[in-house]
Structure 1
Amino acid sequence: VEEPPVELLEHEPLRHRHLRSGRIPRAGDPVTGRVRLLVNGDVAFGVCRPAERESGFYKNADGDDLVYVHEGGGRLESMFGPLEFRAGDYLVIPRGVIHRFVVEGDATLVTIESASGMEIPRRYRNEYGQLLEHAPYCERDVRVPRELETHDERGTFRVRIRARGVVTVYEYPFHPFDVVGWDGFLYPWAISIHDFEPITKSIHAPPPAHQMFEAHSLVVCSFVPRMLDYHPEAVPIPYNHSNLDSDEVLFYCNDQFGSRKGIEVGSITLHPSGLPHGPQPGAVEASLGKTRTEELAVMLDTFRPLQMTRAAAEIEDEAYSWSWKTT
């Protein structure tokens, strides 16, 4: 059994958080280098800044993995064949799929490890599963493995299997991708955040308008460049609000988020349920008259509270929770 346990912080005060993921040192590979920052019984949210180009063979038997490629590119190899990816791609890896990553360049991966299936939101699909015309993306945007690469090799192949919350290493006497074909509808797939067609309105559209995926007790949204609210009297940034049902996590892919200040590329904010939040001082005034935003961000909303890990505390900007003060 490998992998040290995740150390959770107990009895933390309720406050808004800002984590600087760029401070996470490069280490490990695209699987072993994952640093879990925020967790609950449904999901683990983390960042991976791998130092090594290739991961070993890996299977998550506990749930689905959603990986957002913030920086870098490469390919995801599995028994279904290779799947090329690049910056801006989401990779959906269903539970039980043996796979490995081969990355190019200095990669940064955002990892959302869900205990349940990661799916396209039900309201985007008809009764047969086809995407409806109002959906913000379509089947043509989805990329799947196209060519099977068989590996008829003998030897010792180590496969890390995550099950029941721990990782066990098995040694196979044959290559894990030694298959002659596959059929069915369970396979890894990719879609780019840049293929998400934003929904705009004359007044502010709340986060469900940006939803990309759903799983049990969580949703994932994509905030992409788009027109801002176009009513003549609209204030084109989010209003102050309280999250009564969810914790809100944002990963900032650039520093163009209009309602935040002090944010850098790779920043992560946590706005927990029970506290109001909204534009920081000066943001409303700065937004007036603007017609477009270039923001790019990935949001995770969880319907059960998240706990911070010790690793998250080590990269926290503790001044963030006071950034709404005007004096």
Structure 2
Amino acid sequence: MTNWIRLPNSEGQCVARSDGQGDQKTYQREVGRAGFAGPSAQIYHRHPPAGWATFEGPLRPRAFSLGKLSPGPACPLQARRVLHNDHMEVRYWKTESKMHALARNADGDTLIFVHNGSGVLFCDYGHLPYCDGDYILLPRGTAWRIEPSELSEFMMIEATASAFKLPDASQGGPSAINPMLFTLPRIDDAFIAQQDDAFWEIHIKRRGQVSTLTYPFNPLDAIGWEGDLCVVKLNWRDLAKHRSDGQRTPPAASCTFVTDTFAISTFIPKVGEGESGIMRVPFYHSNEDADEFIFYHRGEFFSRGEIKAGMATFHPSGFPHGPHPSAYQTKMVKAPVETEEVAIMIDSRAFLTVDESIPDGAEWKAYVKTWEKAQETL
């Protein structure tokens, strides 16, 4: 455990008054270490911390419309890469075609998030239906394929040379994930029916390169298994069922999966948290030890008026970020406190690199300027 230097203190006016009442209108920014699990401070500013006039250089915030990416390829291991570093990669895959070969990732665990569509997944452990909003965790080395019943879109997150685990109480607080929420594959009639003696390929990714093994039978030929290692599925709606209306949920309580170098959080609808006209948490923040990538799945994203479902934002560490000023006033202070958004956030302690092969049409180049434009409305 890091022996942080902690000196609890306060100085000056320390009350956030975003409604303009009190001595002076202020904007609260939280500065935190270790993903806000370490020491933190709240700084009260006279101006919006994200109220820059210009922003130049490679550190800039970026936004992508991943839904605009073209479908394919046939092999999900070669799907379009969005972000990466030595410990993780994020790919986006769209398909409506049945996989005629199996996939196996030897580089690390794969966590699939189903953005759109439905169908079935077959893997070493059996048969598993999927629908939008599902997380499917494929342990490293698992062979799998899908048969979509409609166009399906997946965000695939690889824990390179690592594994996905559940947050402990110190990371997830009282809302840490209950393993009983997971669904497991079944060796049922549908799984047995897909077993045959045709020639099947398995595409295996190792160190970023794909090799092919060919079998004179379907390798998904299990008739049973036992143990405590398995593919598991979790839907964000199952998380929502275990949240009480009015329950306060600090950001750390949204943590869903963790690895040695990054964490994945699920932001789900919240009702009755706080009072209208009072900020519930300090949305302006500086997470100094993590790059932040957010994928927007469903609903109205109250801190980003122009962001729609299927888009993603990337905010590298090193500068404060938060809501656009217009959203801050109309949706986060004056509006009722209910939220409808569903979003997936990756906080990576290792710096992330955007894959520059993303087509220009899928990136919102003017995203960084939306804060500049919004200052005119203040």
- Please, what TM-score do these two structures have when normalized by structure 1? 0.86
Residue by residue, what CA displacement relative to the aligned partner does 1:117-176 show, whole Å, maximum 9, x if unpaired?
111112289xxxxxx993354344210012253466434211101112211011122321
Name whichever structure is richer in helix by fraction.
2
Cα distance change on mapping 1:55 and 1:324 into 2, 3 Å: farther
State the Cα distance separating 1:55 from its structure 2 match: 5.2
Q: Does 1:317 align with 2:364?
A: yes
Q: Which runs of 5+ in 1 are unaligned?
A: 1-11, 126-131
Cα distance change on mapping 1:219 and 1:284 into 2, 3 Å: same
Q: Does 1:258 align with 2:302?
A: yes
State the Cα distance separating 1:187 from its structure 2 match: 1.3
Q: Which runs of 5+ in 2 are unaligned?
A: 1-56
The 5 Å alignment of 1:171-190 reads 171-190=214-233
Residue by residue, what CA displacement relative to the aligned partner does 1:180-210 show, whole Å, maximum 9, x if unpaired?
3211111111010111147689898542121
Q: Return the index of the structure with the highest Cα Rg.
A: 2
Whether contact under 8 Å (1:89, 1:190) holds in the other structure is: yes
Give the alignment partner of residue 156 of structure 2, picking from 111, 115, 119.
111
Helix, strand or coil for the counterpart of 1:18? strand
Whether contact under 8 Å (1:30, 1:53) holds in the other structure is: no
Give the alignment partner of residue 158 of structure 1, picking from 201, 217, 220.
201
Give the alignment partner of residue 170 of structure 1, picking from 213, 230, 234.
213
Cα distance change on mapping 1:22 and 1:184 into 2, 3 Å: same
State the Cα distance separating 1:298 from its structure 2 match: 0.8
Whether contact under 8 Å (1:236, 1:290) holds in the other structure is: no
State the Cα distance separating 1:249 from its structure 2 match: 0.6
Match in the other structure for 1:143: 183
State the Cα distance separating 1:223 from its structure 2 match: 0.8
Match in the other structure for 2:312: 268
Q: 1:199 and 1:234 mapped to 2: Cα distance?
A: 21
Q: How many residues were matched structurally? A: 310
Q: 1:51 and 1:232 mapped to 2: Cα distance?
A: 44
State the Cα distance separating 1:243 from its structure 2 match: 2.0
Q: 2:336 and 2:173 mapped to 1: Cα distance?
A: 29
* Higher mean displacement: 98-107 or 191-200: 191-200
- Please, what TM-score do these two structures have when normalized by structure 2? 0.75
Q: 1:85 and 1:307 mapped to 2: Cα distance?
A: 30
| Runs of 4+, deviation exceeding 4 Å | 198-206
Q: 2:173 and 2:291 mapped to 1: Cα distance?
A: 30
Q: 2:297 and 2:223 mapped to 1: Cα distance?
A: 39
Residue by residue, what CA displacement relative to the aligned partner does 1:76-106 show, whole Å, maximum 9, x if unpaired?
1012110111111100000011111111211
RMSD: 2.6
State the Cα distance separating 1:235 from its structure 2 match: 1.4
Q: 2:275 and 2:87 mapped to 1: Cα distance?
A: 39
Letter in structure 2 aligned against 1:85: Y
Q: Does 1:240 align with 2:287?
A: no
Helix, strand or coil for the counterpart of 1:320? coil
Q: How high is the sequence identity, in percent, across the aligned residues?
A: 29
Match in the other structure for 1:37: 82
